[in-house]
Structure 1
């Protein structure tokens, strides 16, 4: 058995779709988070292990491409591979397959192992190599480009971090950042365009009760839109930078 690979079937539920009955991008990323957590849990390195050992995996970067969003009632299989470790970084890939085995979405991700109590990054432990069946030779990184932000932003919104935004690591769940940036996009673009690519870097965790601010810049490009986002906390510290590419629904 290849311990580094896991797969799970999902059926698209009504509460996971948009007005056109397509899976929301936030629901898709929740699938990724779910299968990654289940993978760790099944191998003995899940939530109870994390609590006992005072460690947790947190996301550092996402690079997600969506060829096609599944629709309401459709079944898909999500496959993940914890493919390599390198010093402080864990690399994990994802694929979404439809019922004809077509890959309709894929993602690369970079994770960091942290000390929950000290909130500090840890070097990947020997335990983690053993749990996922990897060796120190499994060290190939997944390249994810850095988001280049504009000098000025034309859209600005603020949000308060709610209790419902918090995950098991006691900070804002990574999917909430996608929710936040979508709220800064004009409705006519949301209704006519769909995110087909998203690149996210998480620089600093956001906590319950904080007030965060999002700066957004939109630019038209080859009939589509590119949105660039900077998220900061109430002290002005950068929490995340995000680039999303929106394709027209008519294409």
Structure 2
């Protein structure tokens, strides 16, 4: 398979920024997801085609590093490419760049190829790999580290799954989980620190009518702070996602 990268441009809008007029982490994750979807559409393997054939790419993990969050009205380019296809999963890499080519961030994601009806991973046929091309370059040497289990929750928040949380698969969209995670970060950290990196591992899907329990625990102390997070389905107690967020004081350079 030949090398092929895909690019998509975004402009940071007012409704996508925080108090510092920066794109929020959820906004950045939405840009990454949107670029991956657009890449599939561009090569003729979009969501509708896959759904008609009873298959889907299901996101399993994110690892994201941000050197600088783009500002309000700033235009950025998200560049993506698959770096591996192995049995039933694929690795997709991303760069986030300014219009001069400077790197603002990078991400690695892991996707599982799924039989929708059986809800089981299946081997990826060549016809679902070849159109993308393949480039072996990785943006991180070891993107997926240990994600700690929350044993002694320090913060507990609960949420109802809203209609706006649901995507085309009738499940909560992956970016919503990050929003829940961030709600468990203490106010003084969220407002006075910045998050240069985070990881999310998705374990189980959830849909309408569910109540979500989000907890967090400090696993590393100052000067930088790291939290472990767990998202659960409250009534049945299922683990839905694990996450790790890393924070540094805003006066420090990322």
Taking structure 1 as the reference length, the TM-score comes to 0.92
- The structure-2 alpha-carbon separation of the partners of 1:149 and 1:163, relative to structure 1 and needing over 3 Å to count, comes to same
Name the SS for the 1:147 alignment partner: coil
**CA distance 1:83–1:219, change in 2 (3 Å):** closer
> How many residue pairs end up in the alignment?
248
RMSD over aligned Cα, in angstroms? 2.1
Residue deviations 1:172-207, cap 9 Å, x none?
101101100111122222110111110111011111
Structure 1 pair 142–122 and aligned structure 2 pair: CA distance change class (3 A): farther
Aligned twin of 1:162: 162
Which ranges of structure 1 fall in alignment gaps of 5 or more residues? none
User: What do residues 20-63 of structure 1 show as CA deviations (whole Å, max 9, x unaligned)?
Assistant: 10001101010000110000001000022122212111110111
Structure 2 CA distance for aligned equivalents of residues 177 and 98 of structure 1: 27
Q: Could you tell me whether the CA contact under 8 Å between 2:153 and 2:215 is conserved in 1?
A: yes
Aligned match of 2:195: 195
Matched, 1:111 2:103: no
Unmatched runs of 5 consecutive residues or more in structure 2: none
Q: Per-residue displacement from partner, 1:115-135 (whole Å, max 9, x unpaired)?
A: 223322222122212222359
Query: Is the partner of 1:22 in helix, strand or coil?
Result: coil
Q: Tell me the TM-score normalized by structure 2.
A: 0.91
| Cα distance in 2 for residues equivalent to 1:191 and 1:145 | 26
Question: What SS is found at the alignment partner of 2:215?
Answer: strand
Question: What is the CA deviation profile of residues 89-141 of structure 1, one whole-angstrom value per residue up to 9, with x for unaligned ones?
Answer: 11000001112211110001100111223322222122212222359xx7x99
Q: Secondary structure at the match of 1:117?
A: coil
* 8 Å contact from structure 2 (residues 59, 202) kept in 1: yes
Q: Secondary structure at the match of 2:39?
A: helix
Change (3 A) 1:54 1:18: same
Q: Is the 8 A contact 2:2 2:134 kept in 1?
A: no
Contact map agreement 1:116 1:169 (CA 8 A) in 2? no
For 2:76 and 2:44, locate their aligned partners in 1 and report how far apart those are by CA, in whole Å.
25
Q: Distance in 1 between matches of 2:163 and 2:172?
A: 9
